[in-house]
């Protein structure tokens, strides 16, 4: 366990070095959030009765989404891992006295956390400066905030497990690009990146919530705004646990199968 | 010009060598912008109008923006990848050749996969025309073409600014994404929807509204005829872009080899 923790700390510190990039990303994220808010503000003025969630919850969703973008964006693939499989460098990793999947998981978690944390705070501060109802406000009870934190961890696990699934698939396909392209498109639509899931047509929304993509940003972002509460919240979090377990299990199995028949070229 | 076409042919050939990868990238580009439009469709199903615009009108709007950006992103790719050219000191080689710098950088790279988005733009346009977004006249059709061409020119200017700034920073400025990727993403709605502040900023500072919002008003029959000529005014934006580029070139110090 200790070796995983140490490895986690190393990767986290490495990721925290990219402070200038984070600062540069900040303005982009802020403008993006502002544009989103402006659109929904127009819609709210025109047809407030057709909104599936209140403006405060929606604002919380938009600002947190921008703040935590690098935490859950599926398109932040672990290129180094994928390349290591493609080039055969992964063979070095196999010589280490630790389970490969465990190391990979720790590594992706740390990369995402460091990127996410660096960018989150300033965007959240800027979002909080926007006047109500379109600014970021903490409106939920401490208990619900606790649920939000737990759900954020679960989301991180689901996203990382999905990433690793694709890395493990690289052992079996020579080029995982096709899987990636389709995954990103599905995650954008079914995960609530393009439009928050409550705004989708009823049938599509129900389907999306059951998919692994619906177990990603959708859950914590809506918990934070108070849009997801009570039984629905527990159900969504249950699905997060389910998908995290399934994705880890499948990824682990795929990796095992891949390693069994791996033959590394070169000396 | 003949030189440029020769380069185009070479890049196209090299892209087509890896057919699977070519089609996958096409698909990837299409998914992104397709999803963006799906988002508009879903919102419109619920709300019917955004800022007074109906879905066919929005499809028309997004089609022009998409066509303009995909043209610029396909042909001005060399400027998009400029930080790399600078870092690897390839610019020294470019300076040494007796040809125009801009032309050479345009020749450096091409992204034909971006043209897949032209198909999407065409499909949306056909649907919008079919759904009766506007009463078509020769003048309006001409303005539409003008929006696309001048739009591509404005985006080209933005890429030029991006590349020019690289002379000072040596790395790509993510901030520029606000105007390139951001304009494509948020150009799905006429810029007037975002409020007066955004509209005037995009009219006077970075003239994206001149190739989108104002001429669109004319096409949709909501503005006077001279709005249709505003895309031509947007071409003035290229002048400061070129000045900045020239200044950047003079500022250039090689990174060595």
- Chain A residues touching residue B195 (CB < 8 angstroms): 38
| Residue in B30, B35, B180, B184 to test binding to A, most A beta-carbons within 10 Å | B35
Range of the domain at A56: 2-259
Q: In this complex, do B51 and A31 lie within 8 Å of one another by their Cβ atoms? A: no
Does the pLDDT of residue B6 top 80, yes or no?
A: yes
Asked whether residue A59 is domain-assigned, the answer is yes
Backbone angles phi, psi at B100, to 5 degrees: -60, 135
CB B177 within 8 A of CB B192: no
pLDDT at A160: 94
pLDDT digits (tens, 9 = 90+) for A27-45: 888 899 999 999 999 999 9
Max mean pLDDT among A14-28, A142-156, B93-107 falls in A142-156
Range with the lowest mean pLDDT among A107-111, A116-120, A150-154?
A: A116-120
Does the pLDDT of residue A263 top 70, yes or no?
A: no
**How near does any CA of chain B get to the CA of A144, in Å?**
29
Does the pLDDT of residue A267 top 60, yes or no?
A: no
Q: In this complex, do B28 and A194 lie within 8 Å of one another by their Cβ atoms? A: no
pLDDT at A209: 94
Asked whether residue A264 is domain-assigned, the answer is no
Residue B256: pLDDT band by 50, 70, 90 thresholds? low
pLDDT at A38: 94
Asked whether residue A177 is domain-assigned, the answer is yes
Gap between the Cα atoms of A234 and A252, Å rounded:
27
Question: If you average pLDDT over residues B115-144, what whole number do you get?
Answer: 91
Give me Rg for the CA atoms of chain A. 19
pLDDT digits (tens, 9 = 90+) for B78-129: 888 888 888 787 888 888 888 888 888 888 888 888 889 999 999 999 999 9
CB B79 within 8 A of CB B249: no
Asked whether residue A267 is domain-assigned, the answer is no
- Bridge partners (DSSP) of residue B53 are B50
Q: In this complex, do B186 and A35 lie within 8 Å of one another by their Cβ atoms? A: yes
Gap between the Cα atoms of B203 and B195, Å rounded:
12
Gap between the Cα atoms of B39 and B209, Å rounded:
22
- Chain A residues touching residue B50 (CB < 8 angstroms): 39, 42-43, 46
pLDDT at B97: 86
**How near does any CA of chain A get to the CA of B200, in Å?**
15
Tokens of A104: 């990979």
Q: In this complex, do B177 and A35 lie within 8 Å of one another by their Cβ atoms? A: no
Kindly identify which residue of chain B lies nearest to residue A21, measuring between CA atoms.
B174
Tokens of B61: 């709007």
Tokens of A53: 């969630």
**How near does any CA of chain B get to the CA of A174, in Å?**
12
Residue A200: pLDDT band by 50, 70, 90 thresholds? very high
Asked whether residue A138 is domain-assigned, the answer is yes
| Residue in B41, B210, B26 with CA at minimum distance from that of residue B120 | B26
Range with the lowest mean pLDDT among A100-104, A142-146, B138-142, B176-180?
A: B176-180
Does the pLDDT of residue A264 top 70, yes or no?
A: no
Task: Indicate the SS3 state at residue A263.
Answer: coil
pLDDT digits (tens, 9 = 90+) for A57-105: 999 999 999 998 888 888 888 888 888 887 877 877 777 778 889 888 9
Taking all residues of chain B, what is their mean pLDDT, rounded to a whole number?
Answer: 89
pLDDT-above-90 percentage for chain A: 46
Q: In this complex, do B45 and A42 lie within 8 Å of one another by their Cβ atoms? A: no
Question: If you average pLDDT over residues A222-243, what whole number do you get?
Answer: 93
B140-178 in b/e form (b: 16+ CB < 10 A) is beebbebbbbbbbbbbbbbbbbbbbbbbeeeebbbebbb
Question: If you average pLDDT over residues B27-36, what whole number do you get?
Answer: 91
Asked whether residue A231 is domain-assigned, the answer is yes
Gap between the Cα atoms of B189 and B30, Å rounded:
19
Gap between the Cα atoms of B16 and B187, Å rounded:
31
pLDDT digits (tens, 9 = 90+) for B192-245: 999 999 999 999 999 999 999 999 999 999 989 899 999 999 999 999 999 999
Tokens of B18: 């890896």
Burial class of residue A182 (count of CB atoms within 10 Å of its CB; 0-12, 13-18, 19+): middle
| Residue in B244, B69, B74 with CA at minimum distance from that of residue B167 | B244
**What is the count of structural domains for chain A?**
1
The minimal CB distance from B173 to the residues A24, A185, A200 is found for: A24
Query: Is B36 within 8 Å of chain A by CB?
Result: yes
Residue B144: pLDDT band by 50, 70, 90 thresholds? very high
Give me Rg for the CA atoms of chain B. 19
Tokens of B128: 């919008």
| Residue in A21, A31, A186 to test binding to B, most B beta-carbons within 10 Å | A31
Gap between the Cα atoms of B244 and B158, Å rounded:
11
pLDDT at A153: 94
Tokens of B115: 């043209």
Secondary structure letter of residue B204 according to DSSP: I
Range with the lowest mean pLDDT among A137-146, A208-217, B154-163, B195-204?
A: A137-146
Q: In this complex, do A46 and B182 lie within 8 Å of one another by their Cβ atoms? A: no
pLDDT digits (tens, 9 = 90+) for B56-73: 999 999 999 999 999 998
- Chain B residues touching residue A52 (CB < 8 angstroms): 46
Residue A170: pLDDT band by 50, 70, 90 thresholds? confident
pTM: 0.88
Burial class of residue A95 (count of CB atoms within 10 Å of its CB; 0-12, 13-18, 19+): exposed
Does the pLDDT of residue A17 top 80, yes or no?
A: no
Asked whether residue A108 is domain-assigned, the answer is yes
Does the pLDDT of residue A4 top 50, yes or no?
A: yes
Kindly identify which residue of chain B lies nearest to residue A52, measuring between CA atoms.
B46
pLDDT at B255: 63
Asked whether residue A250 is domain-assigned, the answer is yes
Query: Is B177 within 8 Å of chain A by CB?
Result: yes
CB B65 within 8 A of CB B120: no
Does the pLDDT of residue B173 top 80, yes or no?
A: no
CB B124 within 8 A of CB B63: yes
CB A38 within 8 A of CB B198: yes
- Chain B residues touching residue A181 (CB < 8 angstroms): 24, 27-28, 31
Q: Who's near B46: CB < 8 A, 6+ residues apart?
A: A50, A52, A199
The minimal CB distance from A177 to the residues B21, B182, B186 is found for: B21
Gap between the Cα atoms of A117 and B73, Å rounded:
32
Q: In this complex, do B24 and A177 lie within 8 Å of one another by their Cβ atoms? A: yes
Backbone angles phi, psi at B50, to 5 degrees: -125, 115
Tokens of A69: 């973008």
Secondary structure letter of residue B88 according to DSSP: T
pLDDT at A259: 83
């Amino acid at each position: 366990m200790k070796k995983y923790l140490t490895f986690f700390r190393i990767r986290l510190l490495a990721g925290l070095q990219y402070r200038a990039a984070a600062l540069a990303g900040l303005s982009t994220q802020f403008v993006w959030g502002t544009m989103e808010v402006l659109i929904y503000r127009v819609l709210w003025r025109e047809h407030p009765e057709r909104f599936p969630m209140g403006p405060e919850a929606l604002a919380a969703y938009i600002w947190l989404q921008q703040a935590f973008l690098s935490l859950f964006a599926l398109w932040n693939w672990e290129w180094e891992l994928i390349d290591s499989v493609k080039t055969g460098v992964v063979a070095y990793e196999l010589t280490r006295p630790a389970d490969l999947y465990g190391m990979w998981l720790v590594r992706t978690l740390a990369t995402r956390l460091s990127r996410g944390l660096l960018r989150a705070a300033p965007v959240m501060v800027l979002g909080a400066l926007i006047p109500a109802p379109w600014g970021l406000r903490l409106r939920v009870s401490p208990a619900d905030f606790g649920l939000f934190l737990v759900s954020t961890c679960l989301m991180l696990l689901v996203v990382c497990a999905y990433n690793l699934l694709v890395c493990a698939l690289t052992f079996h396909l020579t080029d995982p690009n096709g899987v990636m392209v389709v995954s990103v498109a599905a995650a954008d639509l079914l995960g609530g990146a393009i439009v928050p899931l409550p705004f989708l047509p009823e049938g599509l929304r129900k389907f999306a919530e059951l998919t692994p993509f619906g177990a990603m940003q959708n859950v914590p972002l809506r918990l934070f705004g108070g849009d997801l509460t009570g039984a629905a919240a527990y159900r969504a979090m249950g699905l997060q646990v389910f998908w995290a377990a399934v994705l880890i299990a499948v990824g682990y199995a795929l990796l095992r199968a891949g390693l069994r028949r791996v033959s590394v070229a070169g000396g | 010009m003949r030189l440029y076409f020769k380069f185009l042919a070479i890049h196209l050939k090299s892209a087509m060598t890896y057919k699977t990868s070519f089609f996958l990238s096409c698909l990837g580009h299409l998914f992104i912008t397709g999803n963006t439009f799906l988002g508009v469709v879903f919102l419109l199903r619920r709300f019917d109008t955004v800022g007074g615009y109906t879905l066919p009108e929005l499809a028309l709007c997004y089609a022009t923006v998409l066509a303009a950006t995909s043209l610029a992103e396909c042909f001005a790719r060399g400027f998009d990848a400029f930080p790399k050219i600078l870092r690897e000191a390839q610019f020294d080689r470019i300076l040494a050749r007796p040809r125009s710098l801009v032309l050479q950088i345009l020749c450096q790279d091409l992204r034909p996969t971006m043209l897949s988005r032209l198909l999407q733009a065409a499909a949306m346009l056909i649907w919008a025309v079919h759904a009766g977004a506007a009463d078509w006249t020769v003048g309006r059709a001409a303005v539409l073409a003008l929006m696309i061409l001048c739009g591509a020119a404005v985006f080209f200017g933005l890429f030029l600014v991006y590349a020019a700034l690289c002379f000072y920073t040596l790395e790509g400025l993510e901030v520029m994404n606000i105007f390139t990727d951001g304009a494509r993403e948020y150009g799905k709605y006429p810029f007037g929807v975002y409020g007066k502040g955004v509209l005037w900023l995009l009219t006077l500072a970075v003239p994206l509204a001149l190739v989108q919002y104002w001429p669109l008003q004319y096409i949709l029959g909501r503005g006077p005829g001279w709005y249709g000529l505003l895309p031509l005014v947007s071409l003035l934006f290229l002048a400061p872009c070129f000045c900045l580029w020239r200044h950047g070139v003079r500022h250039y110090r090689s990174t060595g080899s």
